[in-house]
Amino acid sequence: MADGAPHCLDCADLGHLVYLPRGDTALTRRAREGSSLSVVVVRRNARRRRYERQGVLVEEAALALAEQRCLADAEARARRRARDAVRRAEQDVRFTAAFAEELRRLFPGCPEDRARAVAEHASVRGSGRVGRSAAGRALDPGAVTAALRAAVRHVDTEYDALLMSGVPRAEARRRVSPTVEVRLDSWRRTQDTAP
C-alpha cells in the first residue's frame, strides 16, 4: 500500500526482493540482518480483527547467506530445540498440576478428575485459552474460575446444542448461565465425596 492504494512490488521499488515465508525464525532473523532492505508481509485476519505476519521480503543474496549459516549450525540448533522441548514439557506438567490444585482450592466440591481435565484443557501451550493468559499463568482466581465456568458450560449444559441450532453465542450463554452458576456454587460449598 502506498498513498492509500495497492501497488505491485515493482511499482513500489521492491521487485528485487524475494519472499521468505514465516516458520524458520533463525533463517528469517539472519536474512533480515544481512539484507539492507526488508519488508514485513502481513495479511488481515477479519475474524480476529488484526493483521497477521506471513513472512518477509529480503534481498536474494542475504537469503542465500542466511541459508548457508543455518545449514552450518543446524545440528546445534536441533539439540537446543530438543532440550527446550523437554524443559517446556516439564514446565507444562508442573503448571497443569498447580492449576488443578488452585481449582480444587477455590472449588473444593469439584471432583478431582474433573479439575485435572479442566486444568489440562485450559493450560495447553499456545492454545490461547484462559489458562495460558497472563492471569491464568499467575493462577488468578478469576482466570481459574473462567476456565471451570467454560468447562461446565460445554459439558454440563445444552450450550453446544444451542450454538449448533443457530442461537447467537451471547444468547446461548445467557440461557445456560443459571445452570452453570448453580453448579459452580455447589462446588464452592461442598467437599468432594467421591473416592
Average pLDDT by stretches of 10, the chain with 195 residues: 76 86 92 92 89 92 92 90 92 92 94 93 82 85 93 93 94 95 90 46
Of the candidates 146, 157, 163, 147, which has an alpha carbon nearest to the alpha carbon of residue 182?
A: 157
Give the per-residue pLDDT at 1: 66
Give the per-residue pLDDT at 13: 80
Give the per-residue pLDDT at 105: 94
Burial of 179 (0-12, 13-18, 19+ CB in 10 A): middle
Of the candidates 163, 141, 159, which has an alpha carbon nearest to the alpha carbon of residue 151?
A: 159
Give the start-to-end residue ranges of the domains of the chain.
Answer: 17-72, 88-189
Residue appearing with cell numbers 484443557: 121
**0.95 exceeded by pTM:** no
CB count within 10 Å of CB 160 equals 13
Give the per-residue pLDDT at 5: 78
Distance CA 14, CA 23 (A): 22
Give the per-residue pLDDT at 4: 76
Q: Which are the contacts of 172, defined by CB distance < 8 A and separation ≥ 6?
A: 159, 162, 163
> What are the C-alpha distances in Å from 12 to residues 7, 9, 22, 60?
6, 5, 22, 17
